[in-house]
Structure 1
Amino acid sequence: MTATDKRTQYATQTSAEVLKDLDSTNTGITEAEAQKRLAQYGENTITHTQGESQFKAFIKNFGSLMAILLWVSGLVAMISGTMELGIAIWLVNIINGVFSFWQQFQAKKATDSLMAMLPTYTQVYRDGKVQQKDATALVPGDVFLLQAGNAIPVDARLLEATSMQVDQSALTGESVPESKEVKYDPGEGQFAESNLIYAGTTIGAGTGKAVAIATGMNTEFGKIAALTQQQKKVKSPLAIELDHLTRQISMIAIAIGIAFFISAIFFVHYPAAKAFIFALGMIVAFIPEGLLPTVTLSLAQGVTRMAKKHALVKDLNSVETLGETTVICSDKTGTLTQNQMTVNHVWTRSKEYKITGQGYVNNGHIELDGKRVDPTTEPELALLVRVASLNNDTQVQQDKDSGKPKILGTPTEAALVILAEKAGFDLAAATAKTPRLKEFPFDSDRKRMSTVHRLDDQTLMLCVKGSLSDTVHQCDTIQVDGKVRPITEDDRRAINAANNKYAKLGLRSLAAAYREFPAEADTASQLDKMTIEDAENHLTFVGLTVMADPPRPEIYEAVRKCHEANIKIIMVTGDSTLTAKSIAVKIGLTSDQARVVTGTELDAMTEDQLQDTLKGEIIFARVAPEQKYKIVSTLQKNGEIVASTGDGVNDAPALKKADIGVAMGVTGTDVAKDAADMILTDDNFASIVAAIEEGRTVYANLQKFLTYILTSNVPEAIPSALFLFSGGLIPLPMTVMQILTVDLGTDMLPALGLGSEKAEPGIMHQPPRAKNAHLLSKRVIWKAFAWYGLISSVISTAAYFFVNYQNGWPNVALAASGNVYARATTMVLGAIVFSQIANALNCRTNMASVFKVGLFSNRRVWYGIAFEIVLFAFLTVTPGVQELFNTTVLNPGDWLFLFIIPFPIVLIEEIRKRLARRNDPLADAAD
């Protein structure tokens, strides 16, 4: 028998048959039996993905393709006789690996602190008595008690239920609570059986008693968790791109090494061994040793900035993947909306009232024809508020810690409580004056709830609320303008027309009715004999309360930003089609022409049909867990980079499958958080948009960094080329240790500063980068080698000949040693350093003027510039260091030459950017 068949069996059996099948009783099992079953079934816990060990995670940071390249280049440097260079490269690799591991470790710690789902204690029958037990100790056959606010610890069959409402959104995504009762009703959709309750869901209202039928990983909650954990996460786009970049740089470096090896033999007539060592030095020079630490630090800075924007990223590489996102599959409740049901209209036969203010806070009022009204002067409105308030089991409280509203009951009743507050209705006083004597709980058959109250010694009042179709049929009369008269067909048509109007807008209507009748002398006996059929007839219709879960205020701007950024948003929800489309159109997610596909329709589609459907405007409603997974998978087959949001266990497979899984930190289940790459600490869709902008910024900054560090390779290589192609007549203008000074010394801090650059204006007006786009793009290559690099090469070469010219060249041969040679190489080094100062400023923006974004707005770049000037000065004046790096003290004229260098370079680049902006606004944003 399958698990589904077993579940159906427990639902359709009588309570006695279920208890017999589980070898239990109405008062549970014994403690001894519980221990036996605990040994058999294990603890009632959801096991999380253990992942790799800390040691393996640590070692992994040293095994990327770029890290391997650095290990090899460090070894090559040692072999070539530059031991200091080799050690320095290895130290960079080690420091980067440790830092990267630490960032991942910190992210994991923060994630683990959010993991909390199942309740700690449950009231369980053991040895015939109710005892408080740790929920992890529950076993199949345990009988336990439930009340409003309890999280359900196991899958169970109800034995008793009174007015029970269960929030199953963690499993189904459906925001409306399910009514539960002992009587079997299959319901509509998954997990809709009226007498079964499931682990990970919550009791919204009512009380009950149930027997556990499945625990731990055998629950529906656990099965979906297990399915999620079986999926393997593929490499992130950034990790793939870094591997590609490493191969590109390796090929460039090796090609240059081969060219220099051949040139050294043919032009300078070096022996093969010496030419090989020389070529190895050039290969090492072209390896960007600072790339890995800069990537790690850029991502880490992105993680920090995103955390401030309520987005906790678990994996550093996920930061950049966000920037590539082309489609966001978003659930509705709590992400696009506030998850706070709000009454926005009250309809009576004669008038329609507008209710202002949103959420579970009394921050609004009641309007009629655009003017604020006193509810006590409106008979039907006052009566409706009274009926809805008295017929209500929910409380709305302000949480002491967060200050946010907390409901004890159902969202629908909470909305009515807030309506009463806006109307100035004193519920406590009314309850004391009009006490409740009897209740007929809501059930899924009649879809109504009724309560009986004492008005005075002679009169009782029945308050009724429920679905319109199931309530209005019980009404013989209607109250209009303070008077009760028989209800007519015109009245019924008007009521139905109003209800249909609201339904088309995706709003929910709840009918209110009442009946007054005489109290007998023996009221207790009268009420004992009263049945639902006796009570709920000959009712007087009062009106409709119309409600909806309002959109988050900031969602409109967030959706607009996504559309400007060419990011498609697809709503995937368990809610009804009308509600889903209404919200989607209202917040601008889609137009009114969008197609709404239900879970049933989705099942009937072929893969080709779904792929075509996903290319247009689409909304998914009433979807099951495996269907959300199918949607994400198909989008990926269409070539999309998909971010998927979710909070329930039903969302976990899709979260794991998506390129970026985004879980809710407040309402999310631990399974969802475990599966996700990012957790929103405020459950807000706008935080995703902020994170996407941050992801795009990180990628843009990596390209800026890459441009910057590759730029210095050109003026490092040109002097060596002059040496080779002159046949050695031009002495080597720059030593390997000086090249190392630039790569690992002066360039490092400004490069890291570029990693913290803020988003450039217009970054969210660009489409997501193409899947086949690369970090080392044509634009980066052109800028680094043919533009910035060429300018720097001309200046550094000029600096070399400037010194020799001052010492008699060309009338005397170029110095190959001594103080003049040391001064010449020092000036080449200085010219590169000061050219890089200008390039650091130029690289801060792709197209915008650096003066527009603020010349001094990025302090880290300026700290780096200050550091490289100080470091260069230190190398020129410190004995011992001078010999190691072949530097010497410069005279005032030399320093003046160097300090002038940045100004023309910045000016030339500003002119180029201005021409680019004038000719094509997007010229510098596309590869």
Structure 2
Amino acid sequence: MKNEKETRRKFATDPVPDLMTDLHTTSTGLTQKEAADRLEKYGENVITREKQQSQLLIFLKNFTSVMAILLWVSGFVAILSGTLELGIAIWLVNIINGVFSYWQEHEAQKATDSLMKMLPAYTQVYRDGKLQQINATKMVPGDVFNLQAGNAVPVDARLIKATSVQVDQSALTGESVPESKKVAFDAGQGEFAESNLVYAGTTVGAGTATAVAFATGMNTEFGRIAALTQQQKPSLSPLQLELNRLTKQISLIAIGLGLVFFVSAIFFVHYPVAQSFIFALGMIVAFIPEGLLPTVTLSLAQGVQRMAKKHALLKDLNSVETLGETTVICSDKTGTLTQNQMTVDHIWTPAHSFTVTGQGFVNNGQIQLDGKPIKYGTDADLDLLIRLVAFNNDTEVEPSKGSARPKILGTPTEASLVILAQKSGIDTKAYSIKYPRLKELPFDSDRKRMTTIHQHDDHTLSICTKGSLSDLLPHCDTIQENGKVRPLTEDDKKAIDDANRKYASLGLRSIATAYREVPQETDKEKQLDDLTIDTAETNLTFVGLAIMSDPPRPEIYEAIKKCHRASIKIIMVTGDSSLTAKSVAVKIGLTSDKARVVTGGEL
């Protein structure tokens, strides 16, 4: 594991020219011949599986448990004792139970095999200096390929170009919040956090990128995880151990009582030995609980069905009982306890504080001031903030079809801002045509800001910036209040900071917005080139805060109550701030406001 991390770090930290040299490739990719040679050397880019047991062996396994063997033996004993019908009935019970168990586990296995489908079918790859669409299974180390929003990443790769890239790495980390990616190296926190590496099995949520592959197939991190799951040795569940123990006890008791009756029949009743033996065999069969195994199997099958209705998949029937022995649950927050549907709840401007109704990625809500609906065009500060979050946005929200959840091409945070603009009543697409984007300064984890530059009119360019308050406010020297711009004072900064703290204490997070308008110069292209991060994100006018939350899942309140009644302890594990995490935990009834929050560093 240490060597794997060191190798991964080397691919992340080496200069791009050195990396290209090590991979024996160029910025224009491989030739067809080189790719063919490497495909022969490294194999196809697929997740392979260790040699599986034959279906016959898997089928027979359901008839060879200790209890099943006892039933086979008891059926045989019943036949020896002269009760042919009973023996056949016992064997039929065993056969029906085994077939049913096999069918249940076979159906679950088909569902879990969907792991193989997590890699994309086709990828845009440079071959012979030209961009071509090839089957992702034919990719090899050294391939240079393109990524865009919605693409699944086919290989482990190093970014060599990137624009506003956000990647969902939940397949590797379990964390549903997208990771920002860029060309420059940043170690980040936690596993797979390198800023310039993307991994097979993950998905691009926003932005575009060009990357060079350094690992394919089973050599990827995704492949290593798949290999580990295949190496897992099967172990008996607590229920299986208990049933085996019970079976042995029943067998000993039945045989012991059979011997007692055999001896008693000979010495006390004076039966012939043969007749006494048949009598003893009948008593042994009578003590065997033939209905126990099917009763247990049917109970477990019902549990599997109930879990399936709750969208939980179990490969093995006995896992249901194992889940029943749970005493502690460690749960992520975003997407597990919450819906992973960021929603703007409030808008704060220096003049007013607005509330926003409606939750989730649907625009069935409204913006309110003092409890009354307010539309776009009635408050200058609100109008400007909505335009800023609509312009400064790389996410698209495709309308839902029927009861399905709308498709988000981007990040949940930016999606909530698109929904906010829709709730205000503006046509975001029409505005994007009226005020076209000329340039973008992408978000990155260092400065925590994103800036877009738009054509305002024939003579003016608009610089729109959003980001974290602590990183944006120092770049503002004016503030807009009631439609008028004035100097930003220390009192203003305190009022803004107090408002942000108040919302943070409620478990909400904020996005700060600011802008600046500059006269358009004769040579617009040169002017745009000169508008860099240092020159564009300065002398900004502060506009306001968009306050958002990730609403808890409606069913989580009752689920937590049931866990507490069952004496199951729940621990929230999240990457959010301690203030937000505690607020959400208290809100959903997970803990009290006196609970201690342990940070990663303390742990």
Give TM-score scaled by structure 1 length: 0.62
Q: Any conservation in 2 of the 1:172–1:574 contact (CA below 8 Å)?
A: no
Q: Any conservation in 1 of the 2:451–2:463 contact (CA below 8 Å)?
A: yes
2:178 equivalent to 1:177: yes
1:424 maps to a residue whose letter is G
Using the TM superposition, give the Cα deviation of residue 238 of structure 1 relative to its aligned residue in structure 2, in angstroms.
1.9
1:556 maps to a residue whose letter is Y
Q: Any conservation in 2 of the 1:175–1:575 contact (CA below 8 Å)?
A: no
Partners of 2:40 and 2:417 in 1: CA distance? 48
2:486 equivalent to 1:480: no
Q: Tell me the equivalent position of 2:322.
A: 321
Q: Tell me the equivalent position of 2:147.
A: 146
Partners of 1:339 and 1:194 in 2: CA distance? 22
> 3-state DSSP class of the match of 2:141?
coil
Q: Which moved more, 1:416-425 or 1:166-175?
A: 166-175
Q: Tell me the equivalent position of 2:215.
A: 214
Partners of 2:368 and 2:567 in 1: CA distance? 40
The verdict on how the C-alpha distance between 1:500 and 1:36 changes in structure 2, with shifts beyond 3 A counting, is same
Superposed CA offset, 1:890-919 (max 9, x none): xxxxxxxxxxxxxxxxxxxxxxxxxxxxxx
Q: Tell me the equivalent position of 1:391.
A: 392
Superposed CA offset, 1:138-196 (max 9, x none): 11111001111111111111111122222233333444333222222333333232222
- Report which of the two has the higher share of helix: 1
Superposed CA offset, 1:772-824 (max 9, x none): xxxxxxxxxxxxxxxxxxxxxxxxxxxxxxxxxxxxxxxxxxxxxxxxxxxxx
> Counterparts of 1:60-459 in structure 2 under 5 Å?
60-113=61-114, 116-400=117-401, 403-459=404-460
Q: Tell me the equivalent position of 1:500.
A: 501
The verdict on how the C-alpha distance between 1:227 and 1:304 changes in structure 2, with shifts beyond 3 A counting, is closer
> Counterparts of 1:726-875 in structure 2 under 5 Å?
none
Partners of 1:220 and 1:313 in 2: CA distance? 24
> Counterparts of 1:903-922 in structure 2 under 5 Å?
none
- Percent identity, please: 70
> Counterparts of 1:690-705 in structure 2 under 5 Å?
none
Q: Tell me the equivalent position of 2:558.
A: 557
Superposed CA offset, 1:594-645 (max 9, x none): 333344443xxxxxxxxxxxxxxxxxxxxxxxxxxxxxxxxxxxxxxxxxxx
> Counterparts of 1:43-62 in structure 2 under 5 Å?
43-48=44-49, 51-62=52-63
The verdict on how the C-alpha distance between 1:133 and 1:509 changes in structure 2, with shifts beyond 3 A counting, is same
Partners of 1:109 and 1:176 in 2: CA distance? 29
- Larger C-alpha radius of gyration, 1 or 2? 1
Superposed CA offset, 1:651-687 (max 9, x none): xxxxxxxxxxxxxxxxxxxxxxxxxxxxxxxxxxxxx
Partners of 2:134 and 2:327 in 1: CA distance? 48
The verdict on how the C-alpha distance between 1:376 and 1:252 changes in structure 2, with shifts beyond 3 A counting, is farther
> 3-state DSSP class of the match of 1:339?
coil
Partners of 2:363 and 2:51 in 1: CA distance? 45
2:534 equivalent to 1:533: yes
Using the TM superposition, give the Cα deviation of residue 266 of structure 1 relative to its aligned residue in structure 2, in angstroms.
4.1
Partners of 1:472 and 1:80 in 2: CA distance? 91
Superposed CA offset, 1:88-119 (max 9, x none): 32233223222222222222224335752111
The verdict on how the C-alpha distance between 1:357 and 1:525 changes in structure 2, with shifts beyond 3 A counting, is same
Partners of 1:210 and 1:377 in 2: CA distance? 47
Q: Which moved more, 1:323-332 or 1:32-41?
A: 323-332
Q: Which moved more, 1:21-30 or 1:173-182?
A: 173-182
> 3-state DSSP class of the match of 1:526?
helix
2:170 maps to a residue whose letter is S
Partners of 2:117 and 2:601 in 1: CA distance? 33
1:70 maps to a residue whose letter is L
Q: Any conservation in 1 of the 2:176–2:335 contact (CA below 8 Å)?
A: no
* Count of residues in correspondence between the two structures: 602
Partners of 1:200 and 1:76 in 2: CA distance? 55
Q: Any conservation in 2 of the 1:173–1:575 contact (CA below 8 Å)?
A: no
CA RMSD, 1 decimal: 2.3
Partners of 2:394 and 2:387 in 1: CA distance? 14
2:11 maps to a residue whose letter is Y
2:229 maps to a residue whose letter is T
Q: Tell me the equivalent position of 1:570.
A: 571
1:276 maps to a residue whose letter is F
Partners of 1:130 and 1:94 in 2: CA distance? 58
- Report which of the two has the higher share of strand: 2
Using the TM superposition, give the Cα deviation of residue 400 of structure 1 relative to its aligned residue in structure 2, in angstroms.
4.1
The verdict on how the C-alpha distance between 1:469 and 1:302 changes in structure 2, with shifts beyond 3 A counting, is closer
Unaligned runs of 5+ in 2: none
1:170 maps to a residue whose letter is A
The verdict on how the C-alpha distance between 1:284 and 1:189 changes in structure 2, with shifts beyond 3 A counting, is closer
Q: Any conservation in 1 of the 2:398–2:406 contact (CA below 8 Å)?
A: yes
Partners of 2:99 and 2:476 in 1: CA distance? 74
> Counterparts of 1:533-612 in structure 2 under 5 Å?
533-602=534-603
Using the TM superposition, give the Cα deviation of residue 386 of structure 1 relative to its aligned residue in structure 2, in angstroms.
0.9
Using the TM superposition, give the Cα deviation of residue 418 of structure 1 relative to its aligned residue in structure 2, in angstroms.
0.6
Q: Any conservation in 2 of the 1:173–1:574 contact (CA below 8 Å)?
A: no
Partners of 1:325 and 1:11 in 2: CA distance? 40
Partners of 1:306 and 1:121 in 2: CA distance? 35
Partners of 2:289 and 2:174 in 1: CA distance? 48
The verdict on how the C-alpha distance between 1:70 and 1:174 changes in structure 2, with shifts beyond 3 A counting, is closer
Superposed CA offset, 1:351-398 (max 9, x none): 222222111111222233444333432222221111110111111013
Using the TM superposition, give the Cα deviation of residue 50 of structure 1 relative to its aligned residue in structure 2, in angstroms.
5.4
> Counterparts of 1:669-684 in structure 2 under 5 Å?
none
The verdict on how the C-alpha distance between 1:180 and 1:302 changes in structure 2, with shifts beyond 3 A counting, is closer
Q: Any conservation in 1 of the 2:376–2:426 contact (CA below 8 Å)?
A: no
Superposed CA offset, 1:284-338 (max 9, x none): 1121222222322333333334433433332122233333332223222222111
Partners of 2:7 and 2:321 in 1: CA distance? 46
Using the TM superposition, give the Cα deviation of residue 487 of structure 1 relative to its aligned residue in structure 2, in angstroms.
0.4
Q: Tell me the equivalent position of 1:471.
A: 472
Q: Any conservation in 2 of the 1:257–1:279 contact (CA below 8 Å)?
A: yes
Unaligned runs of 5+ in 1: 603-927
Partners of 2:49 and 2:132 in 1: CA distance? 28
1:474 maps to a residue whose letter is H
Q: Any conservation in 1 of the 2:175–2:332 contact (CA below 8 Å)?
A: no
Using the TM superposition, give the Cα deviation of residue 4 of structure 1 relative to its aligned residue in structure 2, in angstroms.
2.2
